[in-house]
Amino acid sequence: MREVMTKSMARNIFYGGSLFFILIFIGLSWDSHRYIVNTSTNAETLTPSVVAGKHLWEKHGCVNCHTILGEGAYFAPELGNVMTRWGVNDDAEGGFDMLKGWMDAMPTGVEGRRQMPNFNLTDEEYRELADFLLWTNTINTQGWPPNDAG
């Protein structure tokens, strides 16, 4: 082997190394995507109501205060397991009643505490948001949140 590296040797090492790591990155990305689609989500249980609830979540910027599955702001409680905390795991009507009652009570007016705004949602929007939160409650979160309190 030569003692001195030529420009062509350096170029070949650069391109070879770059190609190697790009292929590694693509392979790991594909594996992560495959794992998420096949293991973590419940895509077969998605309904138009769940999708509409997700759109409401985004439209009203709930992620600006709440987290869902660890993503979002940590100002307000985690909502990925809120239906479990409320005890309405698979009960769509119970989830609707709990969510509507809780959100209609906002803002509470407690002195010195920032309040959640009242979004004046319709019953259909409450139902869609409850369906979305019930659906997120069924996702394999691999142990998130770390405790039941969210």
Is the pLDDT assigned to residue 39 strictly greater than 90? no
**pTM above threshold 0.95:** no
Tens digit of pLDDT for each residue in 90-137?
A: 888 999 999 999 888 887 777 777 788 888 899 999 999 999 999 998
- Of residues 149 and 35, the one with the higher pLDDT is 35
* Torsion over CA: 7, 10, 11, 12 (sign): positive
> Topology of 44-150 in CATH?
Cytochrome Bc1 Complex; Chain D, domain 2 (1.10.760)
Residue 132 · residue 53 · CB < 8 Å: yes
Residue 127 · residue 48 · CB < 8 Å: no
Collapsed DSSP state (helix, strand, coil) of residue 83: helix
Tens digit of pLDDT for each residue in 10-23?
A: 999 999 999 999 99
